[in-house]
Amino acid sequence: MESRRVALVTGSSRGIGAGVARFLSDRGYFVHTTYYKDRDLIQKEFAKNPNARIHYLDLQDEKSVRNTIESVKKLSGVLHLLVNNATVDYNIPIEKMDIEDWDETFDIRVRGTFLMTKYALPLLKKAQRSTIVNITSSWANETQPSFPAAAAAEAAKMNFTKTSAVALARYGIRTHSVNPGVTRTPLWDPWGVDDKGWEEMAKNNPLGRNCTPEDVARVIFYLDSEDAAYLNGEEIYVNGGNHLRSS
């Protein structure tokens, strides 16, 4: 396994995380995948994949983070690519949000990203060329009255990404943020978006379609490649240019 690049993708039981992990394994990476609740889903996706291993990970539990990194170390000994993808959302305005929901959002989006970065550093340092990609959001730069915790957490996560890009460069570790556009994943299921709704969102996109997990995976694959060796601290929007619209 020493001749292969090794990746760790959090929140990879479904959606963007599963798509990224699958894309990387298909291209020769050995991928460590993680789940929190969806054990059956991740087993179905990766249990028979010889290029992947499955780990339980609770980003709200520092011990769980340490255990996951230790498992990666025992199996692979090194880490070339860390993708912090796990997330949680609550469509709740400020006046109705409980502190538990606010804390969980920050725990997973921000604290979890910090903990994964911190404990993965020894393995990332062992690689001659390593990359951290944080899946972030344009919400970091926008007001989101219906998602105040997520928007605030993304602003913190984005700054941590930029700080990491400068602080970790001396170890040969490059850090980037990748901001997906509207992506049809199970994360949207609780909000009841039907086929017509997805079609309307696609029509409103400059390129006329919605983002896919594979779109995100291709950018991550490039950022971790030799071709991107001099890129650091990039903030890349994978949304067809939708962030440039005035309304």
With DSSP H G I counted as helix, E B as strand and the rest as coil, what are the percentages for the chain, rounded to 5?
50, 15, 35
Q: Is the pLDDT of residue 141 over 90?
A: no
Task: Please report the pLDDT score of residue 1 as a whole number.
Answer: 44
- What is the average pLDDT across 209-236? 96
Task: Please report the pLDDT score of residue 31 as a whole number.
Answer: 98
Q: Within the chain, what is the greatest distance between any pair of CA atoms?
A: 53
Q: Which tokens is 199 given?
A: 């079609």
pLDDT band with cut points at 50, 70 and 90 for residue 244? confident
Chain mean pLDDT for the chain: 93
pLDDT of 179-207, one tens digit each?
A: 998 887 766 766 677 888 888 888 988 99
pLDDT of 17-52, one tens digit each?
A: 999 999 999 999 999 999 999 999 999 999 999 999
- What is the average pLDDT across 93-105? 95
d(CA 173, CA 168): 6
Question: What are the extents of the domains in the chain?
Answer: 6-185+212-239
CB-hemisphere CA count at 13 Å for 51? 15
Residue 153: other Cβ atoms inside 10 A = 27
**Residue 94: partners with Cβ closer than 8 Å, 6 or more residues away:** 145, 148
Residue 195: other Cβ atoms inside 10 A = 8
- What is the average pLDDT across 163-175? 98
Q: What percent of the chain has pLDDT over 90?
A: 78
Task: Please report the pLDDT score of residue 181 as a whole number.
Answer: 84
Q: What percent of the chain has pLDDT over 70?
A: 96
pLDDT of 48-89, one tens digit each?
A: 999 999 999 999 999 999 999 999 999 999 999 999 999 998
Task: Please report the pLDDT score of residue 242 as a whole number.
Answer: 85
Q: Is the pLDDT of residue 2 over 60?
A: no
- Identify the weakest region by mean pLDDT among 47-51, 95-99, 140-144, 239-243: 140-144
* Among the four given CATH numbers 3.40.50.720, 3.40.50.2300, 1.10.10.10, 3.40.605.10, the one describing domain 6-185+212-239: 3.40.50.720
Residue 133's DSSP bridge partners are 83, 176
User: b/e per residue, 199-233, with b = 16+ CB within 10 A?
Assistant: eebbeebeeebbbbbebbbebbbebbeeebeeebe
Task: Please report the pLDDT score of residue 191 as a whole number.
Answer: 66
pLDDT band with cut points at 50, 70 and 90 for residue 163? very high
- What is the average pLDDT across 123-139? 93
Q: Is the pLDDT of residue 99 over 50?
A: yes
d(CA 18, CA 33): 8
Residue 204, classed as helix, strand or coil, is coil
The pTM score is 0.94
